[in-house]
């Protein structure tokens, strides 16, 4: 077993349970409790990646989500997850990990040539070249070199969940600050959600060697957790990252599954207030060649040693500009790791730190900086300067600390503001968003004592703001007493011919920053976009402060003048699958099915989606293709009788004293004069005069109307009616009731439809005398309450039967039984469209568009003759509505009998046959008419009515053919059939 760098004891790992995994095919071992990064380091593996632009060898840099280098592909096939941070992947048995960049291999990467030629590729180089002959020639190469990991090729096999929660207080971060706050708030009775992104609660205490009440800190953590778990008003969410804060105190949390049926769950939490106990991220140090494998953040080095019992090297140097890294030296020493020296940028290192180092015999070099590093795939040594003296050190690991940046992203999402604290060289909260609180190192605390104290104070304040009394909680005593100061020295930038990285993930250097200044990209957003600093997958988490320092140094402006870039959601990347959870596949849009669906299925209907409804398109018998079925259905309706399910039809009842007046204002057509029992076809316009819907208006009683809308428009029209009634005409007394779902609607159409109806058990008189065309009646049919309209969209004698939806299946079957002898034929949408096309009845949305006004489709007279105002009327007298040369509804027949007509062809001007040409309009609906034995179509043609009888050319997808313009009615223009 070769975990050469695993320390003999300690760590939160389970040494009894070892795990097998592989990296780039190499078989390795680790323990339960390891992260993938820890296990790799335990095996002495630092070099796990190649950098984005220069393809330089890179190693693990951190121990958390701020990791800029160690992005690996985890898993294989459809399970593959690219760009996974090795620091966040919990080790599992059989885990397969691969590096991402590096061809032919990680160890030997041909693209390293970009490193050798790096002077040719400064920031923004692509804007200066690759223009000739055009970008396309180069783009393929650039695209193949760009990108990091590989997306899987198949669909995601994992399942994702979504859930919602409500609370009084959302605490982001379960370290010492968050736990204390949860205790205070939980005890006070507030509903609390405590979320932490790590596998377990504890935050920095998971790797801190501080003692609380003279016991290891995790004892305190366990006792607090036990108390919290016992509180029913507190919800604990480990493995859960708060990813974004939205308006009105809504936050999204991404929870990782742990032996769950789901991989990830996206929470939407609505809270009254939010407490950020999110901690701080250590910042890098900028010096020449600061990117080699073996260089890690000092806190991460402690983290690996204390939590995972992993030594990052055998000869470790520490470089810092603040006190916190000294603890790394102490902890490593206690683990028996050789600490060569502490390189401190500061001239005056605090006495307490010097004393600590003296106690463990570690050399300190104040006023020192690193001039460069050496080593290929692993750090081998450093060249340094202290004052005037230059010297070298051999080492295999370097722990760097450039200060700490508070994690305040969520505060920025919520529009709080930040200010730059020069003592801490960090951005701290300036103005809190409403309902936001910050505590812990996120608020600038640097010692555990401060963290615990402030957490209690802040949560006390929070409780009283939320109206609860805070009870005192016990504060544990911290030892050893930590004399660390929060002060961070300014990260001095030195001049060097060697590159100094500001952004490891995007391979952006100080030279790039200087170039940005030279070319004028000094506004912070320009700087960011030109250099791409901060725009990679880590969003600059470890390098943000240094980038600002660089910009400040280069431009001579103070950081407060420069401002900050906006932190955008999400804090850490969120899986698309989790965002989409529940909304894909069938969850994307509900399928609405007809009440009589089972009967339609038994009739072998071919279903199609129309406006969200699954509706029969046609009913093919065994030997038929679609065309044959449709033709048969059309002919059946014209010669005998057919039945059509129109249940999705919008049906809205209007009751009230002012019902007639209301509808009179809504519709273009007159409503006042409509007699009880009469139906009228109506057009609805919007205020622009454009036709938005059409349908039948039926007067059931003096103050009771039933209107039909297109099935696609039902809810939209209902919304409009309610809007006008509530906001514009509240004085009109009307009740609007949507009954679309209550009634199923079956149309019986054909010359024998009346005959069929008269066979049914009914008290309704269906004779021509009693029920004329465009009349309505009601009664009982087959024991069911029924409303009957004698209206026709097919052009045949036709009756619309409305019966209660729950009886739809039975009723349809009854109709089919009754009509069997006369060959009753169920017909679908295709047949209906052909039938109505033969009659020239327009279909709103196909034959009309966003510009069509009543006159365009032959309703001009009715529109103008109505004296009373109605919605849209005024727009019909605007110049555009009145001009000649508008597109008008016409019919068309192909000049050549066998020509197929298709919707979408455009009319060419004159007798020209070529494009480009000015379009004269287009074919809007077309179908094969079995009654005429040829294709027919409707179209919208400029000045169509003046062009009746003319021959015009139609252009369609590279072809053209001649058509004759005819009136839009191909069958029974006298309407004898439907008025019989």
Partner 1 sequence: MLRIPCPWCGLRDLTEFRFGGEAGVLRPLQPDQSSDEQWADYLYYRNNLNGPQLERWVHAYGCRQWFALRRDTHSHAWSDAVPASEKYP
Partner 2 sequence: MKRYSAFSLAANALLGHRQWPAAWRKASPRESYDIVIIGAGGHGLATAYYLASKYKAGRIAVVDKGYLGGGNSGRNTQVCRSNYFYPQSVAFYEHSLKLYEQLGHKLNFNIMFSQRGVLELSHSLEEMEMNRRWANAMHMHGIDSEILDRGQLQQEVPNLNLQCRFPIRGGFIQRRGGISRHDAVVWAYARAASKHGVDIIESCEVNGLERSAESITAVNTSRGRIAAGTVVSCVAGHSSQLAAMAGLRLPVQSMALQAMVTEPVKPVINTVVASAAIHVYVSQSDRGEIVIGGGADAFSSFAQRGSLTTTVENAAATVELFPFLSRLRVLRQWAGICDIAPDASPIVGRTAVPNFYISTGWGTGGFKAIPAGGDTLAYSIAKSELHPLLQPYSLQRFNTGHLVDEAAAAGVAH
Does 376 engage in binding with partner 1 (CB under 8 A)?
Answer: no
- 162 touches 268 (CB < 8 A): yes
Q: Residue 728: how many CB atoms within 10 A of its CB?
A: 11
Q: Which of 664, 693, 699, 669 is nearest to 681 (CA)?
A: 669
- 684 touches 693 (CB < 8 A): yes
Does 687 engage in binding with partner 1 (CB under 8 A)?
Answer: yes
- 749 touches 644 (CB < 8 A): yes
Non-local (6+) Cβ contacts of 847 within 8 A are: 857, 889, 924, 925, 938, 940
Place of tokens 């309450």: 785
Q: Which does 148 bind (CB under 5 to 8 A by kind): partner 2, partner 1, none?
A: partner 2
Q: Which does 130 bind (CB under 5 to 8 A by kind): partner 1, partner 2, none?
A: partner 2
- Alpha helix ranges (H) inside 866-940: 879-882
Does 765 engage in binding with partner 1 (CB under 8 A)?
Answer: no
- Closest CB 727 distance from partner 1, rounded Å: 5
For the chain, the C-alpha Rg in angstroms (whole number) is 38
Q: Which does 230 bind (CB under 5 to 8 A by kind): partner 1, partner 2, none?
A: none
Per DSSP, the three-state class of 603 is coil
Rounded CA-CA distance 174/455 in Å is 12
- Closest CB 874 distance from partner 1, rounded Å: 4
Of the two residues 434 and 609, which places its CB atom closer to partner 1 in the complex? 434
Q: Which of residues 879-918 bind partner 1 (CB under 8 A)?
A: 879
Per DSSP, the three-state class of 246 is strand
Q: Tell me which of 8, 153, 214, 247 binds partner 1, using CB under 8 A.
A: 247
Q: Tell me which of 164, 358, 560, 584 binds partner 2, using CB under 8 A.
A: 584
Does 905 engage in binding with partner 2 (CB under 8 A)?
Answer: yes
- 100 touches 72 (CB < 8 A): yes
Does 519 engage in binding with partner 2 (CB under 8 A)?
Answer: yes
Does 723 engage in binding with partner 2 (CB under 8 A)?
Answer: no
Does 250 engage in binding with partner 1 (CB under 8 A)?
Answer: yes
Of the two residues 465 and 723, which places its CB atom closer to partner 1 in the complex? 723
- Closest CB 722 distance from partner 1, rounded Å: 6
Does 321 engage in binding with partner 2 (CB under 8 A)?
Answer: no
Cis peptide leading into residue 480 (ω within 30°): yes
Q: Tell me which of 9, 16, 134, 865 binds partner 2, using CB under 8 A.
A: 134
* Residue 397 exposure: Cα atoms within 13 Å on the Cβ side: 31
Q: Tell me which of 722, 849, 851, 979 binds partner 1, using CB under 8 A.
A: 722
* Residue 850 exposure: Cα atoms within 13 Å on the Cβ side: 0
Q: Which does 430 bind (CB under 5 to 8 A by kind): partner 1, partner 2, none?
A: none
**Nearest 5°: CA angle at 371, between 368 and 376?**
130
Residue 389 is given by DSSP the state E
CA torsion through residues 881, 882, 887, 893, sign: positive
- List the structure tokens of 529: 């976009």
Does 248 engage in binding with partner 1 (CB under 8 A)?
Answer: yes
Does 806 engage in binding with partner 2 (CB under 8 A)?
Answer: no
Does 415 engage in binding with partner 1 (CB under 8 A)?
Answer: yes
Rounded CA-CA distance 72/77 in Å is 15
Q: Tell me which of 126, 166, 391, 474 binds partner 2, using CB under 8 A.
A: 126
Of the two residues 274 and 931, which places its CB atom closer to partner 1 in the complex? 274
Stretch (H or E) spanning 545: helix 544-555
Q: Which of residues 842-881 bind partner 1 (CB under 8 A)?
A: 869, 873-875, 877-879
Q: Which does 726 bind (CB under 5 to 8 A by kind): partner 1, partner 2, none?
A: partner 1
Does 846 engage in binding with partner 2 (CB under 8 A)?
Answer: yes
Does 688 engage in binding with partner 1 (CB under 8 A)?
Answer: yes
- List the structure tokens of 923: 């074919």
Does 657 engage in binding with partner 2 (CB under 8 A)?
Answer: no
x-marked contacts with partner 2 along 58-97 as a string, rule CB under 8 A: --------------------x-xxxx--------------
Cis peptide leading into residue 104 (ω within 30°): yes
Of the two residues 434 and 761, which places its CB atom closer to partner 1 in the complex? 434
Does 430 engage in binding with partner 1 (CB under 8 A)?
Answer: no
Does 730 engage in binding with partner 1 (CB under 8 A)?
Answer: yes
- Closest CB 875 distance from partner 1, rounded Å: 7
Does 713 engage in binding with partner 2 (CB under 8 A)?
Answer: no
Q: Which does 116 bind (CB under 5 to 8 A by kind): partner 2, partner 1, none?
A: none
Does 864 engage in binding with partner 2 (CB under 8 A)?
Answer: no
Of the two residues 359 and 434, which places its CB atom closer to partner 1 in the complex? 434
Q: Tell me which of 216, 257, 688, 804 binds partner 2, using CB under 8 A.
A: 688
Q: Which does 895 bind (CB under 5 to 8 A by kind): partner 1, partner 2, none?
A: none
- List the structure tokens of 946: 């003046």
Q: Tell me which of 10, 29, 111, 125 binds partner 2, using CB under 8 A.
A: 125
Q: Tell me which of 430, 723, 761, 765 binds partner 1, using CB under 8 A.
A: 723
CA distances to 52, 101, 142, 507, 805 from 108, in Å: 15, 11, 20, 19, 71
Q: Which does 719 bind (CB under 5 to 8 A by kind): partner 1, partner 2, none?
A: partner 1
Does 951 engage in binding with partner 2 (CB under 8 A)?
Answer: no
Long-range contacts of the stretch 30-34 (C-beta < 8 A, 24+): 30/3, 30/91, 31/91, 32/91, 33/91, 33/308, 34/90, 34/91, 34/308
Place of tokens 């106990």: 277
Q: Which of residues 231-270 bind partner 2 (CB under 8 A)?
A: 244, 246-247, 250, 252, 268
Does 359 engage in binding with partner 1 (CB under 8 A)?
Answer: no
Of the two residues 164 and 492, which places its CB atom closer to partner 1 in the complex? 164
Q: Which does 270 bind (CB under 5 to 8 A by kind): partner 1, partner 2, none?
A: partner 1
Rounded CA-CA distance 778/766 in Å is 11
- Alpha helix ranges (H) inside 467-509: none
Question: In angstroms, how far is the first alpha carbon of the chain from the final one?
Answer: 95
- Closest CB 311 distance from partner 2, rounded Å: 31
- Closest CB 330 distance from partner 2, rounded Å: 37
Task: Give 804's strand partners.
Answer: 743
- 398 touches 316 (CB < 8 A): yes
Rounded CA-CA distance 462/277 in Å is 13
Stretch (H or E) spanning 819: helix 808-819
Q: Which of 706, 698, 704 is nearest to 679 (CA)?
A: 698
Of the two residues 81 and 250, which places its CB atom closer to partner 1 in the complex? 250
Does 166 engage in binding with partner 1 (CB under 8 A)?
Answer: no
Q: Which does 583 bind (CB under 5 to 8 A by kind): partner 1, partner 2, none?
A: partner 2
- 429 touches 411 (CB < 8 A): yes
CA distances to 603, 638, 800, 979 from 794, in Å: 21, 9, 12, 12
Does 127 engage in binding with partner 2 (CB under 8 A)?
Answer: yes
- Closest CB 567 distance from partner 1, rounded Å: 17
Q: Which of residues 913-942 bind partner 2 (CB under 8 A)?
A: 915-919, 922-923
Q: Which of 883, 885, 917, 921 is nearest to 903 (CA)?
A: 921
Stretch that binds partner 2, among 5-13, 58-66, 648-656, 845-853 (CB under 8 A): 845-853
Q: Tell me which of 728, 765, 785, 918 binds partner 1, using CB under 8 A.
A: 728
Burial, 570: exposed, middle or buried (Cβ in 10 Å; 0-12, 13-18, 19+)?
A: middle
Q: Which residues here bind partner 1, judged by CB under 8 A?
A: 246-248, 250, 268, 270, 415, 434, 687-688, 719, 722-723, 726-728, 730, 869, 873-875, 877-879
């Amino acid at each position: 077993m070769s975990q050469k760098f695993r320390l003999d004891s300690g760590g939160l790992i389970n040494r009894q349970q070892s795990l097998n995994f592989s990296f780039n095919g190499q078989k390795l071992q680790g323990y339960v409790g390891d992260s993938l990064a820890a296990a790799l380091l335990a095996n002495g593996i630092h070099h796990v990646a190649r950098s984005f632009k220069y393809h330089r060898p890179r190693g693990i840099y951190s121990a958390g989500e701020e990791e800029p280098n160690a992005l690996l592909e985890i898993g294989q096939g459809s399970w593959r997850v690219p760009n996974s941070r090795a620091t966040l992947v919990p080790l599992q048995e059989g885990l397969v990990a691969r590096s991402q960049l590096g061809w032919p291999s990680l160890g030997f990467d041909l693209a390293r040539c970009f490193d050798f030629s790096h002077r040719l590729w400064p920031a923004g180089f692509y804007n200066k070249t690759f223009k000739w002959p055009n970008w396309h020639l180069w783009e393929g190469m650039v695209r193949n070199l760009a990108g990091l990991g590989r997306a899987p090729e198949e669909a995601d096999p994992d399942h994702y969940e979504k859930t919602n929660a409500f609370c009084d207080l959302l605490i982001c971060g379960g370290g010492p600050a968050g736990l204390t706050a949860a205790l205070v708030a939980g005890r006070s009775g507030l509903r609390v959600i405590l979320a932490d992104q790590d596998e377990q609660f504890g935050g920095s205490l998971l790797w801190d060697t501080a003692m609380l009440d003279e016991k290891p800190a995790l004892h305190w953590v366990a006792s607090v957790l036990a108390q919290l778990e016992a509180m029913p008003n507190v919800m604990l969410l480990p493995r859960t990252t708060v990813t974004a804060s939205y308006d009105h105190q809504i936050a999204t949390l991404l929870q990782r599954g742990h032996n769950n049926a789901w991989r990830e769950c996206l929470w939407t939490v609505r809270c009254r207030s939010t407490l950020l106990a999110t901690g701080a991220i250590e910042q890098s140090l900028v010096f020449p060649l600061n990117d080699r494998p073996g260089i890690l953040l000092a806190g991460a080095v402690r983290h690996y040693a204390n939590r995972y019992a992993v030594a990052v090297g055998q000869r470790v140097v520490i470089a810092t500009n603040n006190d916190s890294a000294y603890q790394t030296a102490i902890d490593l020493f206690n683990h028996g790791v050789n600490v060569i020296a502490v390189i401190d940028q500061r001239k005056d290192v605090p006495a307490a730190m010097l004393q600590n180092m003296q106690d463990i015999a570690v050399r300190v070099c104040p006023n020192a900086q690193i001039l460069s590093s050496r080593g290929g795939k692993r750090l081998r040594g450093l060249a340094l300067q202290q004052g005037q003296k230059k010297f070298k050190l051999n080492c295999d690991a370097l722990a760097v600390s450039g200060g700490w940046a508070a994690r305040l992203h969520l505060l920025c999402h919520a529009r709080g503001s930040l200010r730059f604290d020069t003592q801490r060289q960090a951005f701290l909260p300036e103005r809190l968003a409403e309902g936001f609180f910050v505590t812990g190192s996120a608020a600038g605390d640097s010692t555990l004592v401060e963290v615990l104290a402030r957490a209690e104070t802040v949560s006390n304040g929070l409780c009283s703001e939320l109206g609860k009394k805070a009870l005192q909680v016990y504060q544990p005593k911290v030892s050893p007493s930590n004399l660390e100061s929060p002060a961070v020295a300014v990260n001095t930038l030195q001049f060097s011919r060697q590159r100094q990285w500001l952004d490891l993930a995007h391979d952006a250097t100080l030279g790039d920053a200087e170039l940005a200044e030279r070319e004028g990209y000094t506004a912070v957003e320009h700087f960011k976009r030109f250099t791409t600093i901060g725009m990679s997958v880590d969003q600059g988490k470890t390098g943000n402060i240094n980038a600002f320092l660089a910009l400040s140094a280069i431009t001579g402006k103070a950081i407060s003048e420069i401002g900050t870039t906006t932190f955008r959601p999400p804090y850490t990347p969120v899986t698309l699958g989790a965002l989409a959870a529940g909304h894909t596949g069938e969850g994307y849009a509900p399928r609405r099915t007809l009440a009589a669906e089972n009967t339609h299925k038994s009739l072998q209907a071919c279903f199609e989606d129309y406006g969200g409804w699954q509706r029969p398109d046609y009913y093919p018998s065994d030997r038929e293709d679609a065309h044959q079925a449709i033709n048969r259905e059309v002919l059946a309706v014209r010669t005998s009788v057919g039945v059509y399910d129109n249940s999705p039809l919008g049906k809205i009842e209007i009751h009230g004293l002012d019902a007639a007046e209301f509808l009179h204002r809504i519709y273009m057509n007159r409503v006042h004069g409509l007699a009880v029992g009469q139906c009228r076809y109506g057009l609805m316009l919007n205020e622009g005069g454009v036709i938005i819907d059409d349908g039948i208006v039926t007067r059931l009683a003096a103050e009771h109307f039933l209107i039909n809308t297109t099935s696609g428009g039902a809810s939209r029209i209902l919304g409009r009616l309610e809007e006008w009634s509530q906001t514009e005409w509240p004085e009109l007394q009307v009740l609007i009731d949507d009954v679309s779902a209550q009634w199923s609607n079956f149309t019986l159409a054909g010359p024998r439809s009346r005959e069929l109806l008269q066979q049914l058990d009914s008290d309704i008189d269906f004779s021509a005398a009693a029920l004329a065309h465009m009349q309505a009646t009601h009664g009982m049919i087959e024991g069911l309450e029924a409303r009957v309209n004698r209206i026709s969209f097919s052009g045949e004698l036709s009756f619309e039967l409305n019966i209660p939806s729950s009886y739809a299946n039975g009723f349809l079957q009854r109709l089919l039984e009754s009509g069997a002898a006369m060959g009753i034929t169920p017909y679908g949408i295709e047949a209906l469209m052909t039938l109505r096309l033969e009659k020239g009845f327009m279909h709103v949305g196909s034959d009309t568009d966003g510009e069509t006004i009543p006159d365009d489709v032959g309703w001009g007279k009715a529109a103008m003759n109505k004296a009373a105002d109605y919605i849209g009327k005024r727009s019909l007298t605007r110049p555009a509505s009145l001009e000649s040369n508008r597109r008008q509804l016409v019919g068309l027949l192909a000049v050549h009998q066998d020509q197929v007509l298709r919707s979408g062809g455009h009319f060419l001007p004159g007798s020209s046959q070529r494009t480009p040409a000015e379009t004269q309009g287009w074919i809007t609906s077309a179908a094969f008419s079995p009654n005429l034995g040829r294709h027919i179509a409707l179209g919208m043609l400029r000045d169509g009515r003046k062009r009746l009888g003319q021959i015009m050319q139609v252009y369609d997808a590279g072809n053209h053919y001649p058509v004759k313009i005819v009136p839009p009615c191909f069958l029974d223009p006298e309407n004898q059939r439907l008025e019989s």
